[in-house]
Structure 1
Amino acid sequence: MILDRYFARRFMQSFLVIGGIFLTLMILIDLVEQARRFNSENLSFGKLLHLTLLNTPAAINEMLPLLVILATIALFIGMARSSELVVTRAIGRSGIRALFAPVTLALIIGAMAVALLNPISAATSEEYWRLSGAYKNQDNSALSITREGVWLRQGSINGQSVIHARGTTASDALELTRVTIITFSPDGKPTQQIIADKARLSSDSWVLSNAKIWSLADDVNPEGAAEVHEQIEIPTTLTRQRILDTLSQQGLISIYDLPQLIRDLKEAGFSTKQYEVWLQVELARPLFLMAMVMIGAAFTMRHVRFGGTGIAVLSAVLLGFAIYFVRNFAQILGENGQLPILVAAWAPPFAAILLSLGLLLHAEDG
């Protein structure tokens, strides 16, 4: 137990030091990037730093696998140079048993990343995009999906339009059904209401079918001045890509909100595969970090007198990147429906654990 606590303390020291170095570099690099991006807006240093700090939790969340594998490499390289691994084996503790503390800490870090860092990064990322859009005076178009259907908001210099649809006939959100559109003036007063059977998104407009238009001006009788159109076009700044990008921004959604969002998407007629895969990938994160520890240890738990330390470190990092790539590739296959959701999310970390365990057993037997 005392030895496990020692290994745990050494691992956390390596993790915090490496994490601090990467965090400092990320903040400096992102600060320069924010200054370049908002150069024409002449933002103050405080606002640029605020945007940078809002970006930081998401960046840390993405870099956790790299931080864990580098911390593992630093831990065991240091212990090998000081012959602590030799002493550990001399008292009857196998190399695999020595991994108990680092692996346990990796699982704890992964669980905390899912339970705490994920919702924090989702909230800060959403605030970052809200502020960046406000600073650039961009159109604040938005999309929301609830039990009541699909809600869209689009803005222009003439005011805002809110679009509500009870459903969709296409998984890519290009055609909405049972549509209601309310247009507001720049001062927030409703000016027009439209109800249509369908709304299809074209290149620069919504094409409405069987639409009825009411004017909501103060001096007009809405029903008396109502117009019925078999087909009419309403200008829009929304595009197919912007809607799809909004639907695919899993990083802006807390893991606690994903189950409800998946249910709402299903009820609205949208595809939910990407969110279901994303949810399972996040739940599998502790196992993935555990695999990173085992991979780092498999190449570095040997005495430095054998040489080849640089090659071992490079091999561990490259294998870690390869497994990270395989996990992302499996996630894409799962989102496209080419792999079952559970296989796409859980197979890569389990395969990485088995691979690293085989390498560790081979090294121990050797």
Structure 2
Amino acid sequence: MRTGPFFPPKTISWYMARLFIARSAGVLAGLIIVLMALDLLGESGNILAYPGNGDAALWHYVSLRVPQLVQRFLPFAILLGTLITLVAMNQNSEIISMKAAGISAHQILAPLFLASLAVAALSFWFNDHVVARATAALSAWQDVDYGKVPDHRGIVSNVWVRAGEDLIHADTVTGRGARTVLHRVSLYDRAGDRLMAITTADTAAQGHGGWVLRNVREFNVGQGTVTPRPTLVIGRGVTADRFTLSSVDPDGLSFRALNRAIGDLRAAGRPTASLQTVLWHKLSGPLSAFLMPLLASVAGFGLARSGKMFIRAVIGMALGFAYFVADNFALAMGNIGAYPPLLAAWAPFLLFLLIGEAVLIRTEE
């Protein structure tokens, strides 16, 4: 039996990759069904509490929640799928047969690495095009307590900005840069702890070094009078990015959109470290699927009759879960600025890649 430098024979490669993908998909489907059922039991009361919501609203929630569960638990499914595949092959002496034919441990795992790399690429596309949109839609739906969500794109809603002692509120903000327009604007004129006046306007646009309000109505709190004005300039020195970039949800943005938002924030002189961490994690996160076969490989080698198969499987599972703990810890440290963004996103992946490779070489090669 001839083998290549990196892969086992084609028949064995297809057999292992097919077995690995099928079992990982089965594990993922089982996890999603159980977790979605538990999640729906806890959230269905809130969804149905809104008048008019029924079965269609529950199915809509499921359609938005399932992509998030797939994103979160795909690496777990890959880990368990690898463990199931390798343990079964070891118990059936398939691993021993391949090693007797001169196939090394790295060659045995090569089809799993290639298949998991394809899964990682598919996962990145899925997270970027499906999960980000589902997360944004679900967040908007939850913000209105599962009621009707206004169908607006590229609009920031419910924005508060501080201008000195005053507060400016806009129901919605459209446009970017010099074309930014505030809609249904309210200015709360304060002097210390006292509210002096409340000014409302239909729209506001940049001009005269501030924001020009149109169709103004000024309510004087002390006198109890309302004074109409055609225009009024407020918020001098308040830039447009303070309205358009007041809240950036990185989980609800694609890789390109988040990168653009980070560029806008950086140009405005605002901190972006936590967002950069999430940006890099959008790449390292899907690649964790590539890491799982290596961490679980300890369960596939060694003699099945030695009585240590269960211990090996537990070690493989422990390595996988230790990676997830380290990854979440590093991500949290990056979000609070304790770790640099690149270190927070990539250090756990590289660390456990070295650990998995060292364990494989030490125990088998």
TM over 0.5, yes or no? yes
1:35 aligns with 2:44: yes
Deviation by residue 1:280-326 (Cα, 9 ceiling, x = unmatched) = 12222354222211011123323321113333222222221111111
Cα separation, 2, equivalents of 1:38 and 1:64: 27
Deviation at 1:212, TM superposition (A): 8.1
1:2 aligns with 2:37: no
Letter in 2 for 1:252: G
Q: Please, which runs of 5 or more residues in structure 2 have no aligned partner? A: 1-9, 161-168, 187-199, 218-226, 237-244
Deviation by residue 1:169-224 (Cα, 9 ceiling, x = unmatched) = xxxxxxxxxx9864269xxxx84567899xxxxxxxxxxxx99866447x95515x
- What residue is the counterpart of 2:336 in the other structure? 336
Question: What SS does the aligned partner of 2:103 have?
Answer: coil
Cα separation, 2, equivalents of 1:227 and 1:253: 34
Q: How big is the alpha-carbon RMSD for the aligned residues of Structure 1 and Structure 2?
A: 3.7
Deviation by residue 1:220-266 (Cα, 9 ceiling, x = unmatched) = 5515xx59899xxxxxxxxxxxx98x43x322111232221111121
Letter in 1 for 2:184: T
1:153 aligns with 2:154: no
Q: 1:163 to 1:305 in 2, by over 3 A?
A: same
Cα separation, 2, equivalents of 1:115 and 1:347: 23
Question: What SS does the aligned partner of 1:38 have?
Answer: helix
Deviation at 1:79, TM superposition (A): 0.4
Q: 1:82 to 1:299 in 2, by over 3 A?
A: closer
Deviation at 1:362, TM superposition (A): 1.5
- What residue is the counterpart of 1:87 in the other structure? 97
| TM-score normalized by the length of structure 1 | 0.73
Cα separation, 1, equivalents of 2:172 and 2:364: 65
Q: 1:359 to 1:143 in 2, by over 3 A?
A: same
Cα separation, 1, equivalents of 2:175 and 2:26: 51
- What residue is the counterpart of 1:289 in the other structure? 289
Cα separation, 1, equivalents of 2:205 and 2:283: 42
Letter in 2 for 1:153: N
Q: Please, which runs of 5 or more residues in structure 1 have no aligned partner? A: 146-150, 168-178, 198-209, 231-242
Is the CA contact (8 Å cut-off) linking 1:152 and 1:162 kept in structure 2? Answer: yes
Letter in 1 for 2:332: I
Cα separation, 2, equivalents of 1:194 and 1:21: 52
Cα separation, 2, equivalents of 1:193 and 1:127: 26
Q: 1:216 to 1:338 in 2, by over 3 A?
A: closer
Deviation by residue 1:149-172 (Cα, 9 ceiling, x = unmatched) = xx65359xxx963469999xxxxx
Cα separation, 2, equivalents of 1:269 and 1:311: 53
1:49 aligns with 2:59: yes
Letter in 1 for 2:158: R
Letter in 2 for 1:37: N
Cα separation, 1, equivalents of 2:176 and 2:56: 43
Q: 1:268 to 1:138 in 2, by over 3 A?
A: farther
| TM-score normalized by the length of structure 2 | 0.73
1:324 aligns with 2:329: no
Question: What SS does the aligned partner of 2:184 have?
Answer: strand
Question: What SS does the aligned partner of 1:321 have?
Answer: helix
Cα separation, 2, equivalents of 1:215 and 1:286: 51
1:21 aligns with 2:22: no
1:65 aligns with 2:75: yes
1:124 aligns with 2:134: yes
Is the CA contact (8 Å cut-off) linking 1:153 and 1:161 kept in structure 2? Answer: yes
Q: 1:139 to 1:316 in 2, by over 3 A?
A: same
- What residue is the counterpart of 2:221 in the other structure? none
Q: Percent identity of the aligned residues?
A: 21
Cα separation, 2, equivalents of 1:286 and 1:118: 11
Q: 1:227 to 1:356 in 2, by over 3 A?
A: closer
Q: 1:84 to 1:349 in 2, by over 3 A?
A: same
Cα separation, 2, equivalents of 1:165 and 1:286: 33
1:347 aligns with 2:347: yes
Q: 1:53 to 1:194 in 2, by over 3 A?
A: closer
Is the CA contact (8 Å cut-off) linking 1:184 and 1:192 kept in structure 2? Answer: yes
Letter in 1 for 2:230: P
- What residue is the counterpart of 2:184 in the other structure? 183
Deviation at 1:112, TM superposition (A): 1.2
Cα separation, 1, equivalents of 2:158 and 2:93: 64
Instruction: Write out aligned runs for 1:124-273 (5 A).
Output: 124-137=134-147, 153=158, 161-162=171-172, 182-183=183-184, 191-192=201-202, 215-216=215-216, 222-223=230-231, 246-247=247-248, 249-273=249-273
Q: 1:139 to 1:216 in 2, by over 3 A?
A: farther
Letter in 1 for 2:95: L
- What residue is the counterpart of 1:238 in the other structure? none
